[in-house]
């Protein structure tokens, strides 16, 4: 606008006054131009001088953060830093009570780090000409906690035992197994034993250990009873004739150190001159069978913790009719009855 008026003034005759005004105006114009150029150059210089941001890094104060300890994440870069922003798992970081951002967001401090703080941390650094970021995946180590054993409390002899121990732990815990307080060979989460014996009964204990936190869990205890099974009776013969021979019944069961008991019907069989109990009670021998020995016989096997009973076995015993009765028949000459059996 001043330009237009100056053109107008140029046309008018020069006066001292107008001359002076022109000089002032020109100087002012030059100053303005100078300032503007200066500022412009400054800006160019600034942008030219300002480095791009590069080599952003997030460095933890420890490579193995353990729950409950203090951890710092430090965000650095080369180039002038104007702003730093932190994100966790893709969203804006919302600091909790136990978290502090300091030194213009350069250091993120976890006063007592928690397993929930595990995740991906991203630090974004910006200056007027560039922006760059770096991430750090933090895994908070903790545990072991809540140790427990899963598996059967009862198992048949010769069965396969499988116990599984679990614990909450990062990294995965190592396990140690004990039976009745004595260490047994297994360092995995599973304890497997094929063909269990009665001596495998007892208290199983599992302890978990975390090699990073260097903590050992309390023990989980699991009671196991190995039970007797497959109790069966075999007979030397089942078709017998009264007074004309002996019979042996033999009882077998899975396991060792068992005790045997024989049942005749519902009553216990006791040894006598006619009845022998041998082989630790597992064999029953009736030396002279009578018609009353048809049973049913059952064998009951026990160990201190369980009992198993066999299926019943019947003996079929043929016997001659009463001799007196036969004799009376004889007398009335009915010979064909002489060898009558039932
Ligand atoms: C974390 O940083 C703070 C301040 O920067 C410092 O006082 C503290 O010792 C650091 N902690 C660890 C574990 O490095
Ligand atoms: C902060 O730490 C204390 C002590 O370790 C803990 O009890 C509390 O739950 C923590 N708070 C948060 C928000 O994680
Ligand atoms: C029981 O007997 C059956 C058949 O004789 C056999 O297959 C099974 O393995 C036995 N079980 C045990 C625990 O000995
Ligand atoms: C097993 O544990 C029970 C109770 O926890 C205890 O009464 C028993 O004596 C233990 N048995 C052995 C062999 O340690
Ligand atoms: C463990 O204790 C139980 C119960 O007292 C016993 O039956 C078993 O034989 C014991 N086992 C070992 C290996 O000590
Ligand atoms: C901890 O155990 C894991 C395997 O479970 C192994 O990879 C790691 O190297 C161990 N760390 C230390 C410090 O012993
Ligand atoms: C079986 O029981 C009957 C009575 O019920 C008895 O007469 C017989 O002698 C018994 N036999 C044996 C071998 O115990
Ligand atoms: C054994 O005899 C009883 C009667 O004494 C009968 O009920 C049972 O069925 C018989 N068992 C067999 C296997 O024959």
State the Cα–Cα distance between residues 219 and 183, nearest whole angstrom.
Answer: 13
Shortest-distance atom of ligand 4 to CA 202: 13
- CA nearest 188: which of 201, 200, 177, 178? 177
Domain 57-138 shares a fold with domain 142-227:
yes
At residue 46, the pLDDT reads 63
What separation in Å is there between the alpha carbon of 181 and the centre of ligand 4? 10
- From the number of C-beta atoms within 10 Å of its C-beta (0-12, 13-18, 19+), residue 136 rates as middle
What separation in Å is there between the alpha carbon of 266 and the centre of ligand 7? 10
Angle at 137 between CA 134 and CA 140, to 5 degrees: 145
For ligand 3, say whether the CB of 229 is within 6 Å of any of its atoms: yes
Record: fold of 57-138: Immunoglobulin-like (2.60.40)
For ligand 5, say whether the CB of 256 is within 6 Å of any of its atoms: no
- pLDDT tens for residues 72-106? 999 988 877 778 899 999 899 888 888 999 988 89
- pLDDT tens for residues 286-331? 998 998 998 899 999 887 767 788 889 999 888 876 655 544 444 4
Candidates 3.30.420.40, 3.30.1780.10, 3.40.50.720, 2.60.40.10; correct CATH number of 229-318?
A: 2.60.40.10
Q: In the sheet where 161-170 sits, what is the strand order? A: 142-150, 161-170, 190-193
Shortest-distance atom of ligand 1 to CA 61: 14
From 167, 176, 188, 211, give the residue whose CB has the most ligand 6 atoms within 8 Å, as the site to mutate: 211
State the Cα–Cα distance between residues 327 and 113, nearest whole angstrom.
Answer: 105
Shortest-distance atom of ligand 6 to CA 212: 13
Shortest-distance atom of ligand 3 to CA 254: 14
What separation in Å is there between the alpha carbon of 145 and the centre of ligand 6? 18
CB 59 within 8 A of CB 76: yes
Q: Which CATH class is domain 142-227?
A: mainly beta
At residue 6, the pLDDT reads 46
**Domains of the chain by residue range:** 57-138, 142-227, 229-318
At residue 328, the pLDDT reads 46
Shortest-distance atom of ligand 5 to CA 304: 7
171 upstream amide cis, omega within 30 of 0:
yes
CB 135 within 8 A of CB 58: yes
CA atoms within 13 A on the CB side of 319: 15
At residue 336, the pLDDT reads 41
> What residues flank ligand 4, with Cβ below 6 Å?
180, 202-203, 221, 223
Residue closest via CA to ligand 2's atom 4 equals 112
Q: Which residues of the chain have pLDDT under 70?
A: 1-15, 44-50, 255-257, 305, 321-342
State the Cα–Cα distance between residues 57 and 55, nearest whole angstrom.
Answer: 6
């Amino acid at each position: 606008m001043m330009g237009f008026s100056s053109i107008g003034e140029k046309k008018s005759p020069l006066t001292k006054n107008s001359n002076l005004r022109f000089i002032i105006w020109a100087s002012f114009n030059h100053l303005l131009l100078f300032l503007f150029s200066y500022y412009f150059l400054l800006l160019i210089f600034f942008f030219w001088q300002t480095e791009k941001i590069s080599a952003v890094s997030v460095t933890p104060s420890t490579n193995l953060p353990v729950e409950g300890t203090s951890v710092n994440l430090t965000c650095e870069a080369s180039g002038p830093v104007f702003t730093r922003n932190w994100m966790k798992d893709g969203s804006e970081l919302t600091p909790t009570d136990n978290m502090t951002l300091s030194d213009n967001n350069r250091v993120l401090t976890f006063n007592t780090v928690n397993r929930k703080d595990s995740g991906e941390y991203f630090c974004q650094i910006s200056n007027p000409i560039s922006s760059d970021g770096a991430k750090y995946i933090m895994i908070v180590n903790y545990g072991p906690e809540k140790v427990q054993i899963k598996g059967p409390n009862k198992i048949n002899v010769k069965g396969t035992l499988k116990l599984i121990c679990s614990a909450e732990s990062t990294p995965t815990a190592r396990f140690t197994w004990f039976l009745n307080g004595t260490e047994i060979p297994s360092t995995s989460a599973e304890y497997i034993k094929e063909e269990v014996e009665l001596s495998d009964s007892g208290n199983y204990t599992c302890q978990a250990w975390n090699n990073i936190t260097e903590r050992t869990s309390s023990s989980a205890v699991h009671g196991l009873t190995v039970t007797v099974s497959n109790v069966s009776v075999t007979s030397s013969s089942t078709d017998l004739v009264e007074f004309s021979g002996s019979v042996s019944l033999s009882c077998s069961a899975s396991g060792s150190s068992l005790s045997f008991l024989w049942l005749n019907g519902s009553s216990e069989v006791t040894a006598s001159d006619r009845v022998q109990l041998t082989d630790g009670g597992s064999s029953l021998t009736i030396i002279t069978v009578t018609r009353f020995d048809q049973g049913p016989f059952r064998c009951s096997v026990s160990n201190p913790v369980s009992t198993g009973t066999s299926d019943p076995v019947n003996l079929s015993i043929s016997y001659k009719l009463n001799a007196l009765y036969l004799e009376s028949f004889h007398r009335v000459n009915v010979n064909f009855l002489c060898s009558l059996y039932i």
